[in-house]
Structure 1
Amino acid sequence: MAKKPDTASRIADNKKAAYNYFFEERFEAGLVLEGWEVKSLREGKVQITDGYVVIRNGELFVIGLQINPLGTASTHISPDKQRTKKLLMHKEEIKRLIGKVEQKGYTLVPLNLHWKAGKIKCEIALAKGKAEHDKRDTIKDREGKREVERAMKTNHR
C-alpha cells in the first residue's frame, strides 16, 4: 500500500477519478519520461484527468496523460503531448495487478503525479467503476458536508 504523498510535492491530481471510481488499492509507480516532459511537469503543464492505465505484454502504460510542452522547448525535437508513457513497477506487483484487473469491473486509474526523492512518481489505483446512484450519493454527501461547514462557520462569527 503506497503512502500518501505530501501535498507540497504534488504535480497534478485526478479529482474526477474519486467521483467515477471506488478505490480498492493504491500503488506507486515510476514514469519513463523525456527531458522536455520533466521540464513541463516542473511548470505544472500536465492534465491527468483523461488518463488510464493499460497492461501490454506484462508492462504498464499510461494513456491519455497529457503533458503540454513549454514554449521555450527545443526546436530540433517534436514533442508529442499525448505520448504513451511506461510505468515502472516490480514484476511481482504487476503480476498481482494483472490478476486483479482481469476480474470483471476492475481497472487501473492514475490518481496523481508527485515528486519523490527527485523523481516523478505516479500513484495509480485498482478501482471499480461507480454506478450512477453511487455518484449521486457522492454528490449528496459532499453537499451535506458543505452545508455543515457553512453552518459551523456562521455560528463561529
Structure 2
Amino acid sequence: MSKKPSKDKANGATATKTIALNKRARYEYHLEERYEAGLALQGWEVKAIRAGRANIIDGYAYVRSGEIFLIGAQITPLIQASSHTVPVERRDRKLLLHRREIDKVLSSVERDGYTLVPTALYWSNNKVKLEIALAKGKQNHDKRDAAKDRDWQRDKQRVMRRHNRDA
C-alpha cells in the first residue's frame, strides 16, 4: 500500500524546517539580498544537524578562487560519530550556488564592500540549505535607533492592549 502525498506536496509546496537562526545578523547588519545555498557536508555532519547540534551565529561566508565557503559555523559531532573520520567542528564548508549567483555575489562583495552573512539553516526536501544575505555593517547609532524603535513598538502595543481591555 503506497502512502498518500501530503497536502503540502500535492500543492507543489516544499516542506521546510528551521534548524538554526542567526538573529544577531539582523541586529548587526543591514541585510539586503538573500540567497539559498546548498552545503557540501560529510555524513557525520548531517547526523549532527538532524540532532540539532548546529550553530551559525559566528559564521560568515567568503569567496575563494571563484567558490563560496562558509567558515566559523559550528557543527558539534555526536558522541557516536564515525570512527574512521576525524570530525572537525569548524571546518570550511563549500556553499553550492549557481554560477551567475556566485558572480553577482562576488561583484557585490568586491566592489561595493558587502559581507556575506548566514541568516538561517534549514531543511528543504531532506536537504540542508543555508540562507545567506548580502549585508552592510550597522553603525552604533543605527543599532540604538533600532532598539529605540523596538521599545516604542512594544510600549505602543501595551498601551493599545490596556485601552482595548478597558473599553
Normalising by structure 2, report the TM-score. 0.85
1:74 Cα deviation after fit: 2.4
1:23 Cα deviation after fit: 1.2
SS in 2 for 1:94: helix
Residue identity in the other structure for 1:46: A
Residue 63 of structure 2 aligns with which residue?
55
Mapped to 2, the partners of 1:126 and 1:76 lie a distance apart of: 38
Residue identity in the other structure for 1:105: G
Q: Which runs of 5+ in 2 are unaligned?
A: 1-13
Residue 90 of structure 1 aligns with which residue?
98
- State whether residues 16 and 123 of structure 2, in contact with CA within 8 Å, keep that contact through their aligned partners in structure 1: no
Structure 1 consecutive aligned stretches of length 4 or more whose deviation exceeds 2 Å: 74-77, 148-157
Residue identity in the other structure for 1:31: L
Mapped to 2, the partners of 1:74 and 1:142 lie a distance apart of: 46
Q: Which runs of 5+ in 1 are unaligned?
A: 1-5
Give aligned pairs, total: 152
- The CA RMSD measured in Å over matched residues stands at 1.8
Mapped to 1, the partners of 2:119 and 2:157 lie a distance apart of: 26
- State whether residues 106 and 127 of structure 1, in contact with CA within 8 Å, keep that contact through their aligned partners in structure 2: yes
- After superposition, the C-alpha distances for 1:49-75 in whole angstroms (9 at most, x for unaligned) are 110000000000000000011122223
Q: Provide closer, same or farther for how the CA distance between residues 8 and 146 of structure 1 changes in structure 2, counting only shifts above 3 A.
A: farther
SS in 2 for 1:38: helix
Larger radius of gyration: 2
Matches within 5 A, 1:42-81: 42-81=50-89
Normalising by structure 1, report the TM-score. 0.90
Match status 1:132 vs 2:145: no
Mapped to 1, the partners of 2:162 and 2:41 lie a distance apart of: 48
1:36 Cα deviation after fit: 0.8
Match status 1:109 vs 2:117: yes
Residue identity in the other structure for 1:107: T
